[in-house]
Amino acid sequence: MITIPSSQRTIYETADYVIDDDPPIVFQIGVVHQGLALLLASFNAQSACLISASNPQGQVLTEDENLDRRMQLLLKIEQARLNYFVARHENADQGWAQDCYLIFNLSAQDAGRWAGEFDQFAWVDIRPNGCAGLIWSD
31-80 residue pLDDT tens: 999 999 999 999 999 999 999 999 998 888 999 999 999 999 999 999 99
pLDDT at position 8: 78
Share of the chain above pLDDT 90, in %: 80
pLDDT at position 25: 96
For the cut 60, the answer to whether the pLDDT of residue 1 exceeds it is no
Which residues 6+ apart lie within 8 Å of 114 measured at CB?
51, 73, 76, 106, 123
Give yes or no for a contact between 130 and 37, defined as CB atoms under 8 angstroms apart: yes
Name the average pLDDT for the chain.
93
Cis peptide before 23 (omega within 30 of 0): yes
